[in-house]
Each structure stands twice: as structure tokens, then as C-alpha cells.
Chains A and B, each alone.
Chain A
Amino acid sequence: MGVNILAVDDSRTMRDMLALALGAAGYTVRLAEDGQQGLETLENFSPDAILSDINMPRLDGFGFVQAVRRIERHRSTPILVLTTEDAPELKARARTAGATGWIVKPFDAPKLIRALQMVVR
């Protein structure tokens, strides 16, 4: 069994890039377009880690992370949020919501993989 990742981002470009980078690194990726769809995906998918954008329609990243943490099965699933700002208050908010860590955009594939290796096998 490989390492399964759920990547949630409303930007198709970002999803394409994440899929490409993660796929190339050997991860199995499922994609969702926003927090709401992310939650729906989680109903029958147990990823080893979750990547989530913050600014998204319907359910944003903070709300999504909070909701994931309320699911017993995903209480300690690593969640990395993707942000464009390296601001302490943003990280604090993400942490309060229950995020494991963050990746500041723009990121390259090595940075993405390095960050993931900090939270999954």
C-alpha cells in the first residue's frame, strides 16, 4: 500500500501541480475542489495526510481542518495547509483549527515532499 494524500484546492492549476508533483514522488493522490468536497471525499477515503488550501468557496481551509478534526478517524491525520503568506497569525489560526503544519506558496516539488515527509511515513 502506498501513501495516500488528499489534496484540497479550488484552483485547478494548483490541483494539477499537486497531482503532478505528488504523483511523480510516488504518492497516491485524491483531489477535492473545496472543503466541502474534501469532507465528502473523506467519507470513504482515509488518507495518510491531507493538504488543504485556505481560501476556498463553500468551506474554507480553516473550517475544513476544524471539521476534519471532529471526525474521530482523522483526529490525528496530518494536515498541512497551503498559504501564500508566511504570517505568524495565519499559522496560529491554522494551528488553532487543528492543522499539523503549513507550506508557504509558491513551493517547489522538493519543498512539498520535504514538508510531507515531516508528517507521514
Chain B
Amino acid sequence: MDRIRAGFHVECEEQIEQLRDALGIVEAACDRGCAPDPEAVNSAFRAVHTIKGGASAFALGPLASFAHRMEGTLEGLRSGTVPVDGATTKALVRATDHLADLVSACSTGDATSTEGPATADPFANFAPAGAGRATAAGDADQAWRVTFRPSETLFATGNEPLFLLQALRALGASGVTCDTSALPPLAGLDPDRAYIGWSLALPGDRDRSEIVEIFDFVEDVCKFAIDRDASDCETPPPVAAPLQAPRPGTEPARSIRVDLNRVDRVMNLVGELAITQSILSQSIRDAGLATHSDISPRLEALSALTRDIQDTVMTIRAQPVKPLFQRMGRILRETAEALGKPARLRTEGELTEVDRTVVEQLADPLMHMVRNAVDHGLEPVEERRRAGKSDEGTITLTAAHRAGRFVVELSDDGPGLDRPRIRAVAASKGLIDATTEMSDHEIDQLLFHPGFSTATSVNDVSGRGVGLDVVRTAITRLGGRLSIQSDIGCGTRFSLSLPLTLAVLDGMIVRVAGQVLVMPVAAVIESAAVRGLERRNLGPGRDLLRIRDKFVPVCDVADALGYRTAEEGPLHAIAILTEAEDEVRSALVVDAILDQRQVVVKPIRSILAQPRGISAATILGDGRIALILDPGDLIRSKTQAATPAASHHIGGSLG
């Protein structure tokens, strides 16, 4: 029963998601002033209906009755008695929030108080007891006389008088007489029609409703009468109809719920398998066996299989961001309401899938960002009107896969960042010197400074202490980056990029100053020999290379990581054109490209400061450790002070 109950909560969540989807469609139609798609209304109705059905099954009174009320409104929409307008849809959206609260209250709250004592009957607490058995004492002495005559169409409905008689016998029927007066001659008999009627006696202490219930299915396809019988009748003890006992069996379920820990364990084991397979392949090649036998194709097959397993395990954990986005819709509504700023959420790419852990970890930072966007990003209504914008602000949340990373963008259509004010606030708080020359980009970065807040009052919306610095720290901890872009008058956009997963990576194995490094293939656009490329120099450390008629900045990987300085006369051999998640292209220069393969990502434990330009490490087929490059960070580190990273320091701390 607990299993079914847990399943019910999962189903409720799914139904609420369906309900939100459907209401979104209704809302959009309403905004355009057209009639909503009837299927959307039906879908919403069905979702609420399903929740109601389950809730009453589990005797979850408040949930069932609220769902019932909601269902009434949706039924009204369906039949046209309730108008489809903004007020109705808003009420329904809010009601959905409440419904979601009731569902989670039922799953966390002490729902057991509504249940009776534990019992073997799984449905014991399922429904209120049937009608009372109290009978008028005076009548109990008098037996019931029941007569019924099926109409000719009774069989066509799938009913069978035999079962009625059996049920009546179970109530203690006796003295059965058969009325064959309507029976036609054999020649004229239609076997699909009912001709025979019955009359019988039942014990007087039976409740009338018990008898009526038997005729529930046939009341419109038979004539029946239940009367008190004056004549005496002997009532034999009831004979319980024995139930046949066929083998129980059910259709196998199409999905199962699995503990996430088990999936994670499989994931780790597959990672180990991939490394072992890679080491084995290398050993066989080194031993010179591969070329002399049919080992080679089998090794290939093993490698393909390992990769397949890895991909499949990944998809098990992958989840669309949709539920996360829907939660943000609610945060936005509540924030907008609390601040009296009308706002709506627009979402794109909500079916983008990303590792479950990433979705979970993203919820809190994203929530702060949404609140922040409504609170600080959107201007008050009067200001919006002056700027010729609609009263209602729009917050857009998009998700996409870009350059092998998962990118979420949150933008508002507010006035953009007030940079003079940000500067003034930062100066007044002593974060900067008021006279310092600062670029727009540098001013924007002040928002991420710990303790920075432009809000003049501490309200309960953005909240004290949880500023953008906290959000950025949380994102960085996930291996992500948070950046900000703002255009005066048109709004502000936050971009958040995260790795798709922390488990595997398609890597290009490169050599730099004698070190073997891994470049994420997803970031690579193309590679070319440096020798054949036109080169320009715009000053110290500002080299450009011309690739496909475009000059791109050059980053010497060996120099950036501190393996050797640019002045040492590097053996610049290959330029790898990369694109970071902010779509900025750069050329990374390495000595050679050695191989391309999937590597298992081993995070670098936090006891070390995260070296710039390095995202993680891996173990190669020969058992050596190789660092995995983070091209975007590498390029940024070149413009700032690069922190040299030495691989031998990191080797001992792999996860």
C-alpha cells in the first residue's frame, strides 16, 4: 500500500506538471484573445480529475475536495459556463500552486492519522463504510418480497439474471418462483432476449438498500419491486458465493523507480570499466598482439560497447529541466505578487535534458536569480509605462546545450543595469575607489562582490545576505560560470553555464611542453598548423591568428599554464580553434594532437585551489594522469594573472 501511495505522489506531481502545461496553453490563448484549445482544457480537467480520484481513494479529504472544486471550474470552462479570461486563468494557476502544496503536505504530513489500524486488507482505509444497516425494528419481522422481470434488452447490456439471483441468494433468498408467462414458443424464441421473470423472498432484517444495490446495473433494463411480504417465509442461512481462485497476475510495469544511489554506483562502475578497458587495449597494443590476430576487431567491439553502456547510463540520470522551470514560474508569481510588480515567465528549451544532480543543484541559485530579476531587474509599473513598455514585465528563462555545456539564461525586459548607481554604491561601501577608471564589464562584476546590494531596504524578497555573490559561488562549486550582460533600456541577461555531467567527456588528447593534456572535443571547432597561418601582433601577449579569414586571439597553452614562457621559443605546431560558452572564439596553441577518445572525468578534490584553465583530470589508457583543459577559463586566465598549475601536485588527489 505504501508503494502505491508513494506512486500516487509521483503521479500527482506528473499530473500537476501536465496541468501547468495545459494551463499555459489556455493562458496563452487567453492573452491572444482566442478560445483555448479544447484539448488543453480537457487535459487540465483530466489531470485534476486523476488527482481527485486518487485523493479520495486514499481518503485525503482536503486534497480531494480542493481538486473537486478545481474540477468544477474546469468543467465550467469546458462547457462554456465559466468565461475564459485573465481572472479565471490566473485563479487556476494559483489554484494549481495550492494543489501542489496540498499534494506535498499529504506526502510529508502525518497522513496516517486518517487511516485505521493496520490491516491485511489493502483497501481498508480506502472508502467510507457503506450505508448503515439499521432497519426499522417493526419491519424486521416481515420478509421482503422481491419480484423482477428483465426487459428483453437486458442481455444486450452484458447483464445476466443468473448473477442477480446468485447475489440475492447470498442475501438469503428463498421461495423462488419463476414466471414463464412471456416465454414464446420455441420457434419464435430469440436466444439473445430475456423472457423469464422471478419472484422470491428475502429475510426481513436485510436493509432495503442492500437489495436495491443488487439491481443497480439493471434498474433501467428490468422491472422490479421490493415490498414487505405479509406471508411467512422460512429464510435459510445465507450461502456465501465461493470465489473462484484463479492464479493472480498483472501486466508488468513499463517503468520502475530506482534508488538514485544505485544508478550512481552503476555510473561509477562503468567509469572504472571504461578505464580498465582502455588500459587493457593499450597493454595489448604495447605487447604487439593487436596486429597479429583477430584481437583488434574484438577490442574495437569492446570499446564501442563500453561507450554505449556509458551513454545509456547517462541517459538514465538525465532529466528535462521542465519541472525546475515550472517551479521557477511559481517563485516568479509569488515574488511578483509580494512586490506588486506584474510579471510573467516565458520559458524556452524546457525539454533540454541534463544530469539529474545538476537539475537539483541548480534549483536554489536559480530561485535567487528569479527573485532578484523581479525585484531589481524589473522597474515599477509607472516607469515601464513612461518607457512605453507593457505593464507586465517578462522574465525569460531558456535552457540549451551549447559547446558541450548546459547553458541557462535568465533575462528581464527591465531598464538594464544602472551602472553609475552601482559604482556609487560600491564606492560608498568602500569596495572601490570612486576615482578609478572602470569599464562597463568591470562595473557589472561589482554585483557579484560579497555583500554588495543596491537595495535601499532589506525586504523579504531578495533577502539579506543572499546576493549574487552567493549565487555565483554556488554555480562555481558546480563547475559552472555565471556571467552578466546588460543593455541600457532593454534589460539584463544572466548566463549560467554548467557541465552536462561530471562523469564522462569526449577528449582530444594533446601534448604541450612534454605534458599530456585533454581538450574537451565539444569546445573544438577545427585545428590547423600554425605555420600556414597569418599572424599579427597587437602588443605583448596579444597575438592574433588568421583562421578562415578571421583574426582570433591566440592563447599559448604552455604559456598560460606556466609550463614555459612564450619567450622560450615554443614549438608552436597546432592551433586549435575553440568556442567558449559565451561564443567567443580563440585559438589555443599546442605542440601536437595525439589522439581522440572518451575519458572518465575525475574531479580534482577541493583540498587544492582550482588551478586556472583546468577543469578536472583523467586517467589515460597507460595509467598516466592527464589534466583536462577548460578552454574558456584558460583564455580568461591569459588576460588576468595566470596561476601556474603543475600536474605533479595534482596527481595525488584524484577522486
**Docked complex Cα distance between A120 and B7 (Å):** 30
Provide the A16-51 mask, 1 if CB < 8 A to any CB of B, else 0.
110111111111111100000000000000000000
List, sorted by A's number, 29 A–B pairs whose CB atoms are closer than 8 Å: A13-B54, A13-B57, A14-B53, A14-B54, A16-B3, A17-B126, A20-B4, A26-B244, A26-B247, A27-B248, A28-B246, A28-B247, A29-B248, A29-B250, A57-B43, A91-B220, A92-B220, A98-B157, A98-B158, A101-B218, A102-B216, A106-B56, A110-B123, A117-B241, A118-B159, A118-B164, A118-B217, A119-B160, A119-B217
The residue from B59, B155, B163, B246 contacting A3, defined by CB atoms under 8 A apart: B246
Q: Does A105 contact B (CB under 8 A)?
A: yes
B159 to chain A: which residues have CB within 8 Å? 78, 100-101, 118-119
Within 8 A of B (CB), among A72-93: 75-79, 84, 91-92
Does chain A have a CB within 8 A of B167? yes
Report the Cα distance A4→B374, complex, angstroms: 58
| A109 with B217: CB separation less than 8 A | no
Interchain CA distance A28-B244 in the complex, whole Å: 11
Choose from A75, A105, A110 the contact partner of B53 (Cβ within 8 Å).
Answer: A105
Q: Which 7 A-B pairs have the closest CB atoms?
A: A2-B246, A101-B217, A100-B158, A23-B248, A109-B123, A78-B158, A13-B8
Query: Which chain B positions have C-beta within 8 A of A27?
Result: 246, 248
B158-172: contact bitstring with A at CB < 8 Å (1 yes, 0 no)?
Answer: 111001101100000
Question: Could you tell me if B53 and A117 are in contact, using CB atoms closer than 8 angstroms?
Answer: no
Residues of chain B with a CB closer than 8 A to A118's CB: 159, 163-164, 167, 214, 216-217
Task: Please tell me if B11 contacts chain A, counting CB pairs below 8 Å.
Answer: yes
Q: Which of B44-52, B322-330, B426-434, B459-467 contacts A (4 or more CB under 8 A)?
A: B44-52
Q: Which residues of B contact A121 (CB under 8 A)?
A: 244
Q: How far is the CB of A118 from chain B (nearest CB, A)?
A: 5
A23 (CB) vs chain B CBs: closest residue = B248
CB distance from A50 to the nearest CB of B (A): 9
Q: Is A111 an interface residue (CB 8 A)?
A: yes
**Chain A interface (Cβ < 8 Å from any Cβ of B):** 1-3, 10-14, 16-17, 19-31, 55-57, 75-79, 84, 91-92, 95, 98-102, 105-111, 113-114, 117-121
Give chain B interface residues in 109-127, CB to chain A under 8 Å. 121-124, 126-127
Give B74 Cβ to nearest chain A Cβ, in Å: 11
**In the complex, B249 has a CB within 8 A of chain A:** yes
Interface size class of B (residues with CB under 8 A): 35 or more
Beyond the given pairs A78-B160, A100-B158, 6 more chain A to chain B contacts, judged by CB atoms under 8 angstroms and listed by A's residue number, are A16-B3, A26-B244, A78-B159, A98-B158, A117-B167, A117-B243
The 0/1 profile, CB within 8 Å of A marked 1, for residues 21-47 of chain B is 000000000000000000000110110
Residue of A whose beta carbon sits closest to that of B15: A11
Please, which residue of chain B has its CB at the minimum distance from the CB of A56? B46
Cβ–Cβ contact A16 & B246, under 8 A:
no
Interface residue B245 (Cβ < 8 Å from any Cβ of A): yes
| Residue of A3, A23, A110 touching B250 (CB-CB under 8 A) | A23
Which B210-235 residues have C-beta < 8 A from chain A? 213-214, 216-218, 220
Q: Which residues of B contact A92 (CB under 8 A)?
A: 220
B50/A11 in contact, CB under 8 A = yes
A31 touches B250 (CB 8 A): yes
- The answer, yes or no, to whether B442 is at the interface (CB within 8 Å) is no
